[in-house]
Amino acid sequence: MSIGKYLASVFSLALALGLIACGGFPTTHPDATKNTPANNKADLKDCAQSYPETPDGVYLKNRIDCMKLKGWQ
């Protein structure tokens, strides 16, 4: 396998995993008073501060779990 094909496959795999991970973020809250973009952004910021970025990407799963614990679906 040439280096160009290898890099292209690695890039496409990383892009696909990124799209899957970002598609899983909770965006709705069952409580109508909390179901606003401002509350979602505030909770997401709180989760991002609790779970900073790491090279292995585990922080994305932790942030999603954090949002789910806060009630977001």
Is residue 39 scored above 70 in pLDDT? yes
Report pLDDT digits (tens) over 48-66: 999 999 888 899 999 999 9
What pTM was estimated for this model as a whole? 0.67
Is residue 41 scored above 90 in pLDDT? yes
Which residue, among 31, 29, 20, has the nearest Cα to 72 in the 3D structure?
Answer: 29
Round to whole Å and give the CA distance between 46 and 72.
13
* Per-residue CA distances from 2 to 5, 7, 66 (Å): 5, 9, 41
- Does 9 or 71 have the greater pLDDT score? 71
Alpha helices, H only, the chain: 3-23, 37-50, 58-69
Q: What is the mean pLDDT of the chain?
A: 84
pLDDT band at 13 (very low <50, low <70, confident <90, very high): low
Q: Return the number of other C-beta atoms located less than 10 Å from residue 43's C-beta.
A: 19
